[in-house]
């Protein structure tokens, strides 16, 4: 049986990967320093028996011990800091955590004989798009240190593939949303900066929904984004893993992961009103610096090369996220939404 190490497995997307990998018959070991994740995200029947190694990905010794102890053969690397505003305020923290620690991780893996690697990259590597939908060969000009730290790590991967035989797939996610349809995992950032959980938290707490910028050059003046259900996103990781495991020669790929459909902030709020069953109050605020008007993926490459097909649309995203919001650990206490 193949053992996969899931870095960041105590976080939002990583915990969904753990569920899908186990369902597909892989052994899993979670590697997470719990700086932003939650040990209790890995409780419940579906996670029983999954080991959690609590350490930094930049801790080479622990990475190598983990590889030896569990017989790790491939890695899904979700661990990162991922808040744009924080990255602007503390760029060194982001480069150290996401790029430097990532480099230590990959070198430690290669030194231990592990050369199969899947990386969570981001649409933030593109910056302000020149064309929409955005293809993978679009120029990469990130506008914040978060995106820069991720793009720098893509260069690390590319170089180590050439020099040391690393085989990798870098997946550039657009806006990931939704929760496990069986309610075993869901989104839980603190502070929460993502639109859909913010809208649903506002609904749950009878608070106004904040909209940042209503004067963008879009049909209703609000930003347009491409939302992808976390289950579809993880399906792509499993396809990438199988491609890596079966490839007999150098395999390095970069793929966008998005639904190829754009929704404005106002459209999301209107769809959320239907799911929560009540009208929501809106508070219009100025634009946030660095928010592009429109980000929509072209995912043609991964559809063609790996046969990936997203199946869950906006209704499923909102329904699963709302079901999770109502039972999310800590949902009852007051959140720090207003700060993000
Ligand atoms: N959520 C999105 O919409 C989105 C979009 C694009 C890219 N991504 C990327 O997907 C990945 C997962 O995102 P998420 O939303 O699940 O984030 P998350 O914060 O929920 O999970 C990240 C996990 O990584 C852990 N971690 C961070 N730095 C670490 C380190 N140095 N060593 C060990 N563990 C560490 C945290 O404790 C946390 O559990 C990130 O790499 C993020 O950049 C997410």
Domain that holds residue 273: 195-225+260-294+312-339
Instruction: Tell me: do 203 and 125 sit in the same domain.
Output: no
Per-residue pLDDT, 26? 98
Structurally, how many domains does the chain consist of?
2
Instruction: For residues 161 and 176, give the distance between their C-alpha atoms in angstroms, rounded to a whole number.
Output: 27
Torsion, Cα of 275, 83, 118, 45 (10° steps): -50
Read off the CATH number of the domain in which 318 is found: 3.90.25.10
Strand 116-122 with 167-173, pairing: parallel
Q: Is the C-beta atom of 18 inside 6 A of ligand 1?
A: no
- Any bridge partners for residue 52, and if so which? 30
Is 40 part of any domain? yes
Determine the pLDDT at residue 170. 98
Place of tokens 């075993």: 184
Residue 339's pLDDT is 33
Considering the domain architecture, whether residues 148 and 273 belong to the same structural domain is answered as no
The answer, yes or no, to whether any atom of ligand 1 lies below 6 A from the CB of 78, is: yes
Asked whether residue 50 falls in the same domain as residue 12, the answer is: yes
The SS3 assignment for 176 reads strand
CB 255 within 8 Å of CB 170 = yes
Does residue 305 lie in a domain region? no
pTM here?
0.96
Residue 221 within any structural domain of the chain? yes
Pocket test for ligand 1, best of 19, 36, 317 (most atoms within 8 A of CB): 36
Question: Which of 19, 17, 112, 119 lies closest to 69 in space, CA to CA?
Answer: 112
pLDDT mean by block of 10 residues, the chain; 340 residues: 97 98 98 97 96 98 98 98 95 98 98 98 97 98 97 98 97 98 95 94 94 97 98 98 92 97 98 97 93 96 98 98 88 42
Sheet holding 224-225, edge to edge: 263-264, 224-225, 294-295
pLDDT value for 123 = 98
Question: Cα–Cα distance between 224 and 312 in angstroms, integer?
Answer: 19
**Burial label, 208 (beta-carbon count in 10 A; 0-12, 13-18, 19+):** exposed
My answer on whether 65 and 164 are in the same domain is: yes
- Indicate which atom in ligand 1 lies nearest the CA of residue 9: 39
φ/ψ of 294, rounded to 5, equals -145, 125
Do residue 220 and residue 233 come from a single domain?
no
The reply to whether 145 falls in a domain is: yes
Is 184 part of any domain? no
Residue 33 Cβ < 6 Å to ligand 1: yes
The residues, any chain, with a CB within 8 Å of residue 299's CB and separated by 6 or more, are: 255, 256, 257, 258, 259, 260, 308, 310
Is residue 161 in some structural domain? yes
């Amino acid at each position: 049986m193949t053992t996969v190490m899931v870095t960041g497995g105590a976080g939002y997307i990583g915990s969904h990967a753990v569920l899908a990998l186990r369902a597909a018959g892989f052994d899993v070991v979670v590697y997470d320093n719990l700086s932003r994740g939650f040990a209790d995200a890995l409780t419940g029947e579906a996670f029983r028996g999954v080991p959690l190694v609590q350490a930094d990905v930049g801790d080479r010794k622990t990475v190598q011990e983990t590889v030896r102890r569990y017989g790790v053969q491939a890695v899904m690397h979700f661990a990162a800091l991922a808040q744009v505003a924080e990255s602007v305020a503390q760029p060194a923290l982001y480069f150290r955590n996401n790029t430097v620690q990532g480099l230590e991780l990959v070198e430690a893996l290669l030194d231990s004989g592990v050369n199969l690697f899947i990386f969570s990259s981001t649409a933030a590597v593109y910056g302000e798009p020149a064309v929409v939908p955005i293809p993978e060969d679009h120029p990469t000009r990130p506008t914040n240190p978060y995106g820069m730290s991720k793009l720098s790590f893509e260069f690390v991967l590319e170089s180590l593939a050439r020099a040391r035989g690393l085989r990798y797939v870098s997946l550039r996610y657009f806006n990931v949303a939704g929760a496990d349809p069986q309610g075993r995992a869901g989104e839980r950032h603190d502070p929460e900066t993502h639109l859909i959980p913010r809208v649903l938290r506002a609904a749950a707490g009878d608070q106004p929904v904040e909209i940042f910028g209503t004067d963008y050059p879009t049909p209703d003046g609000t930003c347009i984004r491409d939302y992808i259900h976390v289950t579809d996103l993880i399906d792509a990781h499993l396809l990438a893993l199988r491609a890596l495991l079966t490839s007999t020669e150098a395999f390095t790929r970069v793929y966008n992961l998005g639904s190829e459909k754009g929704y404005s902030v106002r459209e999301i709020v209107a769809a959320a009103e239907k799911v929560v069953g009540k009208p929501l109050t809106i508070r219009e605020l100025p634009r946030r610096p660095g928010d592009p008007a429109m980000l929509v993926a072209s995912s043609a490459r991964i559809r063609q090369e790996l046969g990936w097909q997203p199946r869950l649309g906006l209704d499923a995203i909102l329904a699963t996220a709302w079901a999770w919001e109502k039972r999310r650990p800590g949902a009852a206490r007051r959140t720090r939404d207003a700060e993000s």
